[in-house]
């Protein structure tokens, strides 16, 4: 049995999806040195050294790390900057 859904409920569901935070994921690659990845996390993302090192180790050992979260426009900008620094990065909606 299917229950009817009003237009206002559909609108609020899509608004919630559009406003959900986004995350930036950095993926392990065979090129960049761990020290360089740490440096990029510090300079581009503003992470303190201990946080940058922990994230770098997650990338190295787990294959990926979530390095930032926020609104879509901001995350798109960060992904572009990380690509410019030579890192493999993607973004996804955080649900």
Range of the domain at 71: 20-93
pLDDT (tens digit, 9 = 90+) per residue, 45-92? 999 999 999 999 999 999 999 999 999 999 999 999 999 999 999 999
In-domain check, residue 79: yes
Q: Is the pLDDT of residue 8 over 70?
A: no
Backbone angles phi, psi at 48, to 5 degrees: -65, 155
Q: Is the pLDDT of residue 40 over 80?
A: yes
Specify the pLDDT at position 93: 97
Specify the pLDDT at position 95: 81
> Which 8-state DSSP code applies to residue 7?
H
- DSSP SS3 for 17: helix
Please tell me the total count of domains within the chain.
1
In-domain check, residue 9: no
Specify the pLDDT at position 79: 99
């Amino acid at each position: 049995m299917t229950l009817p859904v009003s237009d206002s409920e559909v609108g609020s569901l899509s608004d919630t999806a559009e406003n959900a935070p986004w995350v930036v994921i950095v993926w392990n690659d065979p090129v960049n040195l761990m020290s360089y990845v740490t440096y990029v996390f510090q300079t581009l993302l503003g992470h303190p050294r201990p946080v940058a090192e922990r994230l770098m180790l997650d990338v190295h050992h787990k294959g990926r790390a979530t390095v930032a979260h926020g609104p879509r426009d901001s995350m798109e900008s960060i992904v572009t900057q990380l690509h410019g620094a030579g890192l493999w990065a993607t973004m996804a909606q955080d649900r």
